[in-house]
Structure 1
Amino acid sequence: MKHIVSIVGAGPGDPDLLTVKAYRLLQDADLVLYDSLMGDEILGVIPESTEQVYVGKTHCDMQCQEVRQQRINSLMYSGYLDGKKVVRLKTGDPLIFGRGIEEIRFLKEKDVPYELIPGVTAGIAAANNFQIPITERCVNTTLLFCTGTTAKNEFKQFASIAMMIKEGTPLVLYMGLKNIDNIIEQLLSHGVKASTKIAAISKVSYKEEQMIAGDLSSFSDIAAQKPLPTPTVILIGQNVDSLMTELDEK
Structure 2
Amino acid sequence: MVGKVYIVGAGPGNFELLTIKAYRLIREADVILYDRLVGEEIEDFLRSLKGKEIVYVGKERGERGEKRQQEINRLMKRYADEGKTIVRLKGGDPGVFGRLMEEMEFLHRHSIPFEVVPGVSSVNGAPACSNISLTHPEKSFGFLVVSGRDSGRIKDLWKEGTLVILMGGCTAREVALNLMRSGVGPETDVAVIERGSFEDQRITFSTVKDLAGRENDFMSPALIVVGGVVGLSKKFHDF
Same fold (TM over 0.5): yes
Could you tell me which runs of 5 or more consecutive residues in structure 2 were left unpaired when the two chains were aligned.
158-239
Are the equivalent residues in 2 in contact too, given 1:26–1:45 (CA < 8 A)? Answer: no
Deviation at 1:39, TM superposition (A): 2.4
Quickly say closer, same or farther: Cα 1:131–1:40, change in 2 above 3 A.
closer
Q: Which residue of 2 aligns with 1:65?
A: 65
Within 2, Cα distance between the matches of 1:41 and 1:77? 28
1:160 CA displacement: 5.3
Deviation at 1:148, TM superposition (A): 1.1
Q: What's the C-alpha RMSD, in Å, of the aligned pairs? A: 1.7
Q: Are 1:12 and 2:8 an aligned pair?
A: no
Q: Secondary structure at the match of 2:146?
A: strand
Q: CA deviation at 1:52?
A: 0.9
1:27 touches 1:45 (CA, 8 Å); kept in 2? Answer: no
AA matched with 1:11? G
Counterpart position of 2:173: none
Contact 2:15 2:42 in 1 (8 A): yes
Q: Does 1:136 align with 2:132?
A: no
* Corresponding residue number in structure 1 for 2:22: 22
Q: What's the CA shift string for 1:117-174, capped at 9, x where partnerless? A: 1111112112111111211124332211111124xxx82x13457xxxxxxxxxxxxx
Q: Write 1 or 2 for the structure with the bigger share of helix.
A: 2
| Residue in structure 1 matched with residue 154 of structure 2 by the alignment | 158
CA–CA separation in structure 2 for the residues paired with 1:158 and 1:80: 40
Aligned to 1:102: 102
**Aligned residue number for residue 51 of structure 2:** 49
Count how many residue pairs are aligned between Structure 1 and Structure 2: 155
Structure 1 portions without partners, runs of 5+: 162-250
Q: Percent identity?
A: 43
Q: Output the amino acid matched with 1:49.
A: G
1:113 corresponds in structure 2 to 113
- What are the equivalent positions in structure 2 for 1:211-226 lying under 5 Å apart? none
Q: Distance in 1 between matches of 2:87 and 2:139?
A: 40
TM-score scaled to structure 1, two decimals?
A: 0.58
